[in-house]
């Protein structure tokens, strides 16, 4: 497997879809919930402060009405206004909670009454206060006084164009601030809990989805086109079920394609085998014609002297031997040409090599070719398809017979290659193969022989047989010197040795 990894990113981030989904989704949910919670908290804070300010305005307006009456009466000299103002301030402080101070000012910003007696006669110098003392409407402001927060309400004392001064009432706003802070932390905790619960639910759902995908991948890994059973997965109505359904269809198409390919391979193998039989025809004809001529001579001799029992008995014996020889040749030829179902079973390789040499005996003798078979001792047993191994050997031997000239040499060697593989090599001292042609010799219909002397399928079929048995084939050659084909097959040892 080729791995292409960039530096700088941890492997778990790139390899875990679950982590990426949870991380990205969790981040988005967290940001959205924080924004929503913050917005809700700010809106609630504004509502609380507005409520407190309206309440403060109501209190300062209620307080200002009696103060205005007292100032009007004092102006008419009906009674002393200062004592009444102090009394009114004390009553208000006793009946209203949360009031920090009450200050009554004249038009010159001098304190004419105050909840704190030390403030009498003081002039207000605070610019933040003097800026609103000239206003004609009720105002509020919030400011910090040490560790406390003060909500200050301002109300002008006037009727029409007549103005007597203004009233300032300071309310303690620390409780409201504390309530807002507590609400903020409560909302933060609830937000974190909501995020954690959401991520937990998301984790559970993703785990279920990924578990289905893992089961699906495990089923894909166990796919065996030789088995036609359905996928062992529960039917689903979601996208995973859709994927499983189409996987079943794909597996069926693969099985159908494999069956068609195997059928096509069988036809190609059989066609090449028939072509090989055609190339063996002259040798087979010679092997049959020689006994037939002997049979004809024996029959003629018996007909000429029927009364000669000794000669008749001798000729009948020769006729029986000739018929046996013909039967042997025909049986070998029919056994090689017969199309069998592919099987894997222990075979005696030495026996099948000798069978191929027997079928090619006439061509070998005709070209006076020296053949040598070298077996490793002891010869291990190989589990394979006997018909295909025999066809593979026949193709390589025919290839060598076409390559060598009269008086040439062909050598077959067998032996182990390591502890788990078996090696078969066919060597000849024929014309050889060029380096350019070596890369093409296993291609279908590629041949270096003259037209009519080869189909170009022999080595291609051989390559297919070797691959079907889980092995490999390689070719080495030097033009004008030698060619060697080496086949390596998985080795299986068995007790049975005869086939």
pLDDT tens per residue across span 388-412: 888 788 888 888 888 888 888 999 9
Q: What residue has token string 């559970």? A: 204
- Tell me how far apart the alpha carbons of residues 460 and 197 are, in angstroms, rounded to a whole number: 64
* pLDDT at residue 449, rounded to an integer: 64
In degrees, rounded to 5, the angle at the alpha carbon of residue 434 between the alpha carbons of residues 428 and 438 is: 85
Domains and CATH numbers, the chain: 13-182 (3.30.450.20), 263-490 (3.30.565.10)
Place 85 in a pLDDT band, splitting at 50, 70 and 90: confident
Cα 67 to Cα 71, 80, 113, 387, distances in angstroms? 6, 13, 10, 124
Where does the pLDDT of residue 444 fall: very low under 50, low under 70, confident under 90, or very high at 90 and above? Answer: low
pTM: 0.43
Average pLDDT on 466-491 reads 87
Asked if residue 458 lies in contact with residue 269, where contact means CB atoms within 8 angstroms, the answer is: no
Of 303 and 493, the structure prediction assigns the larger pLDDT to 303
Cα separation, 243 vs 233, whole angstroms: 11
Q: For 311-347, what is each residue's pLDDT tens digit?
A: 778 767 777 766 776 766 666 566 555 555 566 677 7
- Least confident window among 221-230, 251-260, 298-307: 221-230
Q: Is the pLDDT score of 8 beyond 50?
A: no
pLDDT in the model for residue 339: 52
Is residue 66 within 8 A of residue 81, CB to CB? The reply is no
Q: What is the pLDDT of residue 340?
A: 54
pLDDT for res 74: 77
Q: What is the pLDDT of residue 51?
A: 86
% of the chain at pLDDT higher than 90: 3
The sign of the torsion formed by the CA atoms of 324, 329, 333, 336 equals: positive
- Most confidently modeled range among 171-180, 363-372, 373-382, 434-443: 363-372
Nearest Cα to Cα of residue 157 among 24, 36, 65: 65
Q: In the prediction, which pLDDT does 428 show?
A: 92
CB 188 within 8 A of CB 37: yes
Position 454 scores a pLDDT of 56
Residue 67 has pLDDT above 90, yes or no: no
Residue 480's pLDDT is 87
**pLDDT tens, position by position, 216-228:** 777 777 776 666 6
Using CA atoms, how far apart are residues 421 and 443, in angstroms rounded to an integer? 25
The answer, yes or no, to whether residue 427 has pLDDT greater than 90, is yes
pLDDT of residue 250: 80
DSSP state of 408: -
* Cα–Cα distance measured from residue 139 to residue 148, given in angstroms and rounded to the nearest whole number: 20
Q: What are phi and psi of 314, to 5 degrees?
A: -65, -45
What pLDDT shows up at residue 484?
Answer: 92
- Confidence at residue 456, expressed as pLDDT on a 0 to 100 scale: 60
Q: Which residue has the higher pLDDT, 202 or 17?
A: 202
Q: Quick one: pLDDT at residue 282?
A: 56
- How much is the average pLDDT of 366-381? 81
What pLDDT is stored for residue 288 in this prediction? 67
Convert the pLDDT of each residue in 89-146 to its tens digit: 888 888 888 888 898 888 888 888 888 888 888 887 777 777 777 777 888 888 887 7
Mean pLDDT for 260-272 is: 69
Q: Is the pLDDT of residue 270 over 50?
A: yes
pLDDT score recorded for residue 394: 82
55-59, 134-138, 166-170, 281-285: least confidently modelled range: 281-285
């Amino acid at each position: 497997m080729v791995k292409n990894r960039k530096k700088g990113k941890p492997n778990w981030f790139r390899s875990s879809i679950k982590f990426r989904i949870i991380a990205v989704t969790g981040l988005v949910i967290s940001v959205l919930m924080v924004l929503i919670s913050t917005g809700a908290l700010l809106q609630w804070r504004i509502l609380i402060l507005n409520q407190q300010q309206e309440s403060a305005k109501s209190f300062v307006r209620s307080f200002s009405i009696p103060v205005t009456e007292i100032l009007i009466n004092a102006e008419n000299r009906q009674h002393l206004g200062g004592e009444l103002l102090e009394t009114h301030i004390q009553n208000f402080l006793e009946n209203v909670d949360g009031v920090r101070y009450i200050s009554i000012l004249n038009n010159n910003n001098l304190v004419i009454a105050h909840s704190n007696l030390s403030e009498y006669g003081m002039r207000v110098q605070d610019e933040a206060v003097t800026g609103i003392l000239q206003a004609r409407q009720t105002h509020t402001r919030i400011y910090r006084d040490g560790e406390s927060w003060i909500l200050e309400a301002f109300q002008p004392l006037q009727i029409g164009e007549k103005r007597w001064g203004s009233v300032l009432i300071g309310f303690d706003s620390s409780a409201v601030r504390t309530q807002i802070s507590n609400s903020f932390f409560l909302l933060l905790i609830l937000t974190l809990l909501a995020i954690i619960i959401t991520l937990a639910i998301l984790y559970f759902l993703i785990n279920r989805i990924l578990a289905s995908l893992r089961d699906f991948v495990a089923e894909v890994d166990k796919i065996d086109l030789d088995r036609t059973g359905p996928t062992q997965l529960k039917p689903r109505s979601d996208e995973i079920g859709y994927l499983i359904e189409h996987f079943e269809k794909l597996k069926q198409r693969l099985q159908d394609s494999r069956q068609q390919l195997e059928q096509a391979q069988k036809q190609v193998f059989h066609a090449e085998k028939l072509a090989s039989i055609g190339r063996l025809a002259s040798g087979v004809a010679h092997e049959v014609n020689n006994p037939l001529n002997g049979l004809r001579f024996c029959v003629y001799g018996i007909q000429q002297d029927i009364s000669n029992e000794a000669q008749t008995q001798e000729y009948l014996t020769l006729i029986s031997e000739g018929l046996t020889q013909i039967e042997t040749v025909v049986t070998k030829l029919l056994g090689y040409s017969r199309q069998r179902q592919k099987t894997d079973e222990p075979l005696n390789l030495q026996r099948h090599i000798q069978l191929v040499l027997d079928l090619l005996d006439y061509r070998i003798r005709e070209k006076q070719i020296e053949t040598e078979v070298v077996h490793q001792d002891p010869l291990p047993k190989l589990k394979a398809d006997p018909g295909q191994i025999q066809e593979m050997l026949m193709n390589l031997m025919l290839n060598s017979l076409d390559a060598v000239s009269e008086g040439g040499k062909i050598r077959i060697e067998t032996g182990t290659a390591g502890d788990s593989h078996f090696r078969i090599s066919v060597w000849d001292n024929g014309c050889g193969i060029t380096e350019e042609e070596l890369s093409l010799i296993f291609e279908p219909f590629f041949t270096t022989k003259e037209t009519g002397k080869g189909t170009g399928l022999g080595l291609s079929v051989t390559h297919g047989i070797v691959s079907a048995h889980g092995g490999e084939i390689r070719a080495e050659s030097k033009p004008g010197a030698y060619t060697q084909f080496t086949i390596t097959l998985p080795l299986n040892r068995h007790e049975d040795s005869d086939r």
